[in-house]
Amino acid sequence: MIPRTLCLALGAVIFGFAGTAVAQTSPEPPAPTPPSQGPPTPDSSAPPNTPPSVEAAPPSSPVPPSSPAPPVPVQPAPPAPYRPLTHRIGDASFTLYGDLDLYLNYMHSTSGRDIFALQDGAILRSRLGARGDMDFGQGFRGTFALEQGINGTSGAPADATRLFDRQAWAGLVTPVGEFRVGRQNTEVFQRGGYIDYGERTLGAVINAFGVPSRYDSDVAYIAPRVAGLLVAAHYSLQGATVDHPAEQRVYQLAADYQQGPFRIGYARVAGKPPAGSAVRTEVTYDNFYANVNYGVGKLYLVYIRSNNNGPTGDLLNGASPLGNTGALIAGTDPGAETTYNIYQASADWTVTPALRVGALYGWIRDDSGTGKNATGGSIGGFYVFKNFKPFLIAELLSNDRNAGFRPIGSAGLTKPFTAAADVNGETLVGVHLGFVFRF
């Protein structure tokens, strides 16, 4: 009863919001930020579809003066691009950017417990960053990125052990592709905007399973997109020891193909535990995705096969043997011996140039047949005033008797359910109201 009531309530709010937006009489509605507000992707998104121009045919007969002219449809203003602070001197540029992502989070467990808190990082975790480039000429260009996550509710760094916990890399763009070295986002993480209407963050069943996000000492090659196809490869050397360069390796492979409104792709992250580990299973995360732009929105399909999940304390799920933010495989997590299949379908709809709504449904199934499954879904709405985007999301995640998955956003919840009795085998319902302010 609770999940259904929440979903109906949210639906009423979203469509009421849509009606208000449509009824506006301003000839230029607020222009939104481009829909992708996740981490920057290796290539630029395709431009929105525009109707073909039509030449006016010469009139066959004069129009009587008394005949009213046919109404001319007013096209909505195109979205204004998000513009961070960029300073350019000669052949070099330097950009400061960031965002604050804050939301009121209400969650209810069928155990009877509730959470009501201000949280950080529903969609695009709060951060400060700097990036830049310098043109060396003859098709060569130097690039770099430095990015620090912060907790917008307290101002504390996301990782107190690092100055730049999210990204710290330098690169060289050449005529045959880009080479990067340093702490980098994974190819799986980069493709969040291709996965579902919420960019694989709060409300996504996939995100509740966990996503390997970034690694240290990562050497990467990103090829230029040719005939619609882009490929990339990474290899992390952070676990290498003397005479054992392959120990604790983490490697990535990815391919993305786009043609017209269609996009399909694949991204893999895999890690090898050290020799002599108690759990010697290689941990993998294989992500297959497809989406199609149907004119006023997109349809998304995703399949993931992975053993990158395991128990954490008394909770049946939550740990990641491969790590979500750069920890290498210790070879001690028995969760690596269970493989899961995750399926998710999603769609969104652009109601107005400023208002977008969406929904998704997904399920997690384990190969062991021991009841470590979960199902869930969400509905949400986003309204954009240039750099400011308020949102409203409602979600449900139902665990089988031996599963303990919890909803999570772009950042881990600072105030989550931590007692096993509130998570294992329980259904969790959440309503999240917040905003992302980009600068």
**Residue 72 within a domain:** no
**What band does 331 get if pLDDT is binned at 50, 70 and 90?**
confident
Domain CATH for 93: 2.40.160.10
Whole-model pTM: value is 0.80
pLDDT > 70: percent of the chain: 78
**Residue 66 within a domain:** no
**Residue 186 within a domain:** yes
Q: CA torsion, points 322, 398, 103, 357, in degrees to nearest 10?
A: 100
Question: Do residues 208 and 376 touch, judged by C-beta distance below 8 A?
Answer: yes
**Residue 54 within a domain:** no
- pLDDT at residue 19 greater than cutoff 60: no
**Residue 354 within a domain:** yes
| Spatial separation of the C-alpha atoms in residues 182 and 162, rounded to whole Å | 14
**Residue 33 within a domain:** no
- pLDDT at residue 43 greater than cutoff 50: no
| Spatial separation of the C-alpha atoms in residues 347 and 37, rounded to whole Å | 17
The letter for the amino acid at 225 is R
Question: Do residues 123 and 102 touch, judged by C-beta distance below 8 A?
Answer: no
| Spatial separation of the C-alpha atoms in residues 189 and 167, rounded to whole Å | 12
**Residue 424 within a domain:** yes
Number of domains in the chain: 1
123 is in which domain, residue-wise?
2-19+78-438
- The better pLDDT of the pair 80, 251 is held by 251
**Residue 63 within a domain:** no
pLDDT digits (tens, 9 = 90+) for 126-158: 999 999 999 999 999 999 999 999 999 999 999
Q: What is the pLDDT of residue 14?
A: 41
Cα R_g (the chain), whole angstroms: 23
pLDDT digits (tens, 9 = 90+) for 335-391: 899 999 999 999 999 999 999 999 999 999 999 888 899 999 999 999 998 899 999
- pLDDT at residue 59 greater than cutoff 90: no
| Spatial separation of the C-alpha atoms in residues 164 and 184, rounded to whole Å | 11
The letter for the amino acid at 402 is N
Using the structure block, give the residue that is written with the tokens 């449809």. 73
pLDDT digits (tens, 9 = 90+) for 166-209: 999 999 999 999 999 999 999 999 999 999 999 999 999 999 99
**What band does 431 get if pLDDT is binned at 50, 70 and 90?**
very high
**What band does 17 get if pLDDT is binned at 50, 70 and 90?**
very low
**What band does 84 get if pLDDT is binned at 50, 70 and 90?**
confident
H/E stretch holding 50 reads none
Using the structure block, give the residue that is written with the tokens 């931590």. 418
| Residue 335, token pair as written in the block | 């969760």
Q: How many angstroms from the chain centroid is the CA of residue 35?
A: 11
Q: What is the pLDDT of residue 279?
A: 86
Q: What is the pLDDT of residue 46?
A: 38
Q: What is the pLDDT of residue 165?
A: 93
